[in-house]
Structures are given as C-alpha cells and as structure tokens.
C-alpha cells in the first residue's frame, strides 16, 4: 500500500479503498451515520456482533443456563481461552496471555510479582512520559515492596539501567503523541543488566505487532477497550513469558487462581500455568463482548493491520502538512514507522478544534492544553473516511486561525 508521493485527493483515497484487503472489515462495525470516528485510541467502536453476542449471553446463557453456565457454557475457562485469542495479536504463545481485571490492576499484580522475584534489586525504572496511572501504580507497588520508582526522561532510559533495576516498566506507544518506543532495543538493554521488562500494550494491542516472544518481553499488560474494540470498561489482559510463570507468584492470590478453587483449602495452591494470575470470578458478559470483538480479527495478520494503520496515518498527517494551516502542527513523529495508530497535532486552541470537528461529525479527543489526538482504528475506517476527516480538521483549524 503506497501513500507517499503525490498529493491527496478523494479519488486517491477511493483507489486505496478499492485495493484494501481489509476493506470488508469496516462493515463489521456499527457507527452512527455521519460520524467519522477517529477516537479508537480512547474507546474502540462497536463491532456489530458484540451487541448480538452480549444479548445472547445475557438471555440464553445467563437466563437459560443459570449457574450451570460456569462449566456448561465454558465461562470458567474464558480468561485463558480469550487470552489465547489475543496472543497472536501481541506475538505471544498459547498459554502466555490471560484476560482479567483492569490494566492498572494487572500492572500492580505483575509489578508486585516481579519485585518479589528480584528481591536483591529495589528499583522500578520508568519514563516521565509514561501513562500517569502506570506511574501511580508503580510508585505504590514499589513503596510497599521496599523499593523505589525511578522516573527518567525517555532519552535517559538506557543510561539509567543498572544492576539495581528489578524491572523496567514502560508503555510501547506514547498516549499523547503516539510515538513508538523501541521495544526490542529497550527490552534487550533491560536484559543486559539483568532486569525484567514489563510493557504496557494498551495502545499497541490490535494495531502494532508487538512480538512479545521474538523480542524476549518478560511481562506485559494491556486493555481490550481501545483497538481490540471490546467495549467501555472491558477487562484487561496480562502476559507472562512461559519460562517465568513458575518463578513468579500472584500477589493477589484469589480463589480462581487456586489449583482447586472448589476444594476450599485454607492454603493457596497456585494453578498451573498462566491461570495462577487469576484472582476473581470472570466478568462473563464483558468477556462475551470481547469474544465477539476478537472475531473481527479472525484470519487477519497483525502485520496487515499495521500496514493499513501506517497508510491511514500517513494520509492524515500528509494532508494536514500539505494544507499548511497556521498554528496546526504535527505532534507525532513524522515517520509512520515511528508512531502507533495515532496521529496527534498541536494547536493553541486544541479544545475548540476538537469541539468544532466533533460538531461536524469528526470525533477525536483532547489532551490539554494543546494536543488533539486522532486514533485510527484500521479495521473500522476507510481511506475515504480518513480523507474527509482530514478535510474537516484542516477546515476547522483554518476557521480558528
């Protein structure tokens, strides 16, 4: 898919749609008429099948099977089964991903586990531009483990890695600018000093080929409500590299992670494999929405999604650059290879820009004071839609100039 070279026009966008191997997936999403939704980095759009599946789960499974559903309908196994469906999207192996809790909670669990396993090292390293919730969690977990959180500028991460660092905890895609961190390089640098790597994949899962396995990632967490489109407040996932699963303990050892939950033993015995990181009863209705949302990815390689994502981002960034509107400048890296599925712009009246664009049906979001973010869900967007979205953004910015 080539997007560089000539300038953008509607015919060119339509020509890309005509040859788009993922174009059919657009029909699997229900979006309000007249809306161009460029906010998939906040909340993914609704896959049509998710609405049907949730209704079926509620009416047939819950209503029809009642408590027999825990075994008869496979509710108990859903956290691992759905983890295995997410695994190929993040380059993990079967048995390495589990769906549970929320991102902040699974982050607390994995950081706690990592600090307990590396008792001789008392530093968690992170970057100052990490998602703030991750830093709150890391600071609190570190404090309770007798460790400290060391936060440095992203450019100083490699230099800050030493033999005091137990775990290097970073987010692969910057939530403000969409900048992609060097996951392979930083993971290798962490390993070189004997530290574990823990990656937040919230803005990666479903759009960036993370390659957990090939890059030797030790631990990861992520949400399913952004580019996996599983709905507001959908559960999170955690990844623990297979070789580490025996050595790490779940710091919140609930009954569902017990080897025999229904034996009701007084002592906690970990379940085998990734399941030991489970704590509580699975949220069955929410998991059914995730299951349907993952159907949309069936038969599609993450590399194909990445190719379309880069092309869509290039359209938006190039169109805006070519328009040369005063005060509207790219805040994301200029190269598509260096950003996730998001393009951000800086504008002194960012709030007005986002609000005016929304009134014209183009939904993005704001990171105050001056950032407008546009998250491009590749399976739910056509090139034509992104072209019209770019036109509106430019129009609105011109009106504000």
Binding stretches for ligand PLP (CB under 6 A)? 102-104, 131, 133-134, 171, 175, 200, 202-203, 223, 236
Write down the catalytic residue from 29, 131, 319, 345.
131
Write down the catalytic residue from 121, 226, 275, 306.
226
Minimum distance, C-beta of residue 206 to ligand PLP, in the bound complex (Å) = 13
Decide whether 174 or 291 has the Cβ nearer to ligand PLP. 174
Minimum distance, C-beta of residue 276 to ligand PLP, in the bound complex (Å) = 21
Decide whether 186 or 236 has the Cβ nearer to ligand PLP. 236
Identify any residues that bridge with 200 across adjacent strands, giving them in sequence order. Answer: 171, 221
- C-alpha 216/C-alpha 194 separation (Å) is 13
Decide whether 288 or 342 has the Cβ nearer to ligand PLP. 342
Decide whether 61 or 134 has the Cβ nearer to ligand PLP. 134
Decide whether 103 or 187 has the Cβ nearer to ligand PLP. 103
Assess whether 182 carries a catalytic annotation: no
Assess whether 122 carries a catalytic annotation: no
| DSSP secondary structure of 176-229 | TT-BBP-HHHHHHHHHHTT-EEEEE-TTTTTTS---TTTTT--EEEEESSSTT-
Minimum distance, C-beta of residue 110 to ligand PLP, in the bound complex (Å) = 13
Minimum distance, C-beta of residue 115 to ligand PLP, in the bound complex (Å) = 19
Minimum distance, C-beta of residue 367 to ligand PLP, in the bound complex (Å) = 11
Decide whether 134 or 218 has the Cβ nearer to ligand PLP. 134
Assess whether 131 carries a catalytic annotation: yes
132: left (phi over 0), alpha (psi -120 to 50) or beta: alpha
| DSSP secondary structure of 91-157 | T--TTSEEEES-HHHHHHHHHHHHHHHTTT--EEEEETTS-HHHHHHHHHHHHHTT-EEEEE-GGGH
| 157 Cβ neighbours under 8 A, 6+ residues apart | 125, 127, 168, 170, 186, 189
- C-alpha 104/C-alpha 139 separation (Å) is 12
Assess whether 226 carries a catalytic annotation: yes
Q: What H or E segment, with its residue span, contains residue 375?
A: strand 371-375
- CA dihedral sign, ordered 179, 13, 371, 324: positive
Assess whether 239 carries a catalytic annotation: no
Minimum distance, C-beta of residue 101 to ligand PLP, in the bound complex (Å) = 8
Burial of 213 (0-12, 13-18, 19+ CB in 10 A): middle
Asked if 44 and 293 touch (Cβ cutoff 8 Å), the reply is yes
**In Å, what is the CA distance from 390 to each residue of 101, 207, 272?**
36, 20, 50
List active site positions.
131, 200, 225-226, 373
């Amino acid at each position: 898919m080539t997007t560089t070279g000539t300038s953008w026009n509607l015919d060119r966008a339509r020509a890309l749609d005509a040859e788009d191997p993922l174009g059919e997936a657009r029909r699997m999403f229900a979006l309000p008429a007249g809306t161009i939704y460029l906010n998939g980095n906040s909340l993914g759009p609704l896959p049509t099948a998710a609405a049907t599946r949730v209704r079926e789960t509620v009416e047939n499974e819950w209503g029809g099977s009642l408590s027999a559903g825990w075994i008869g309908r496979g509710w108990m196994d859903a956290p691992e089964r759905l983890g295995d469906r997410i695994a190929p999207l993040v380059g993990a192996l079967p048995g390495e991903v589990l769906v549970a809790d929320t991102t902040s909670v699974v982050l607390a669990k994995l950081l706690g586990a990592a600090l307990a396993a590396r008792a001789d090292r008392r530093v968690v390293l992170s970057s100052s531009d990490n998602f703030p919730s991750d830093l709150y969690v890391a600071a609190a977990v570190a404090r309770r483990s007798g460790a400290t959180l060391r936060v440095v500028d992203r450019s100083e991460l490699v230099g800050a890695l030493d033999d005091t660092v137990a775990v290097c905890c970073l987010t692969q895609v910057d939530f403000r600018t969409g900048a992609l961190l060097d996951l392979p390089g930083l993971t290798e640098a962490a390993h070189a000093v004997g530290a574990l790597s823990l990656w937040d994949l919230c803005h990666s899962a479903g759009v960036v080929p993370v390659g957990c396995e090939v890059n030797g990632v030790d631990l990861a967490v992520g949400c399913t409500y952004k580019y996996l489109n599983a709905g507001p407040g959908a559960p999170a996932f955690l990844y623990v590299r297979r070789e580490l699963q025996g050595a790490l303990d779940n710091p919140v050892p609930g009954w569902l992670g017990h080897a025999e939950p229904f034996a009701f033993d007084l002592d906690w015995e970990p379940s085998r494999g990734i399941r030991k990181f489970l704590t509580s009863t699975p949220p069955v209705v929410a998991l059914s929405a995730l299951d349907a949302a993952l159907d949309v990815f069936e038969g599609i390689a993450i590399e194909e999604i990445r190719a379309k994502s880069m092309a869509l981002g290039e359209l938006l960034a190039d169109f805006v650059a070519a328009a040369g509107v005063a005060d509207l400048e790219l805040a994301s890296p200029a190269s598509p290879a260096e950003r996730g599925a998001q393009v951000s712009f800086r504008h002194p009246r960012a709030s007005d820009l986002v609000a005016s664009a929304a009134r014209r049906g183009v939904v993005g979001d704001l990171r105050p004071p001056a950032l407008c973010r546009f998250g491009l869900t590749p399976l739910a967007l056509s090139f034509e839609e992104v072209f019209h979205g770019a036109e509106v953004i430019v129009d609105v910015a011109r009106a504000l100039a």
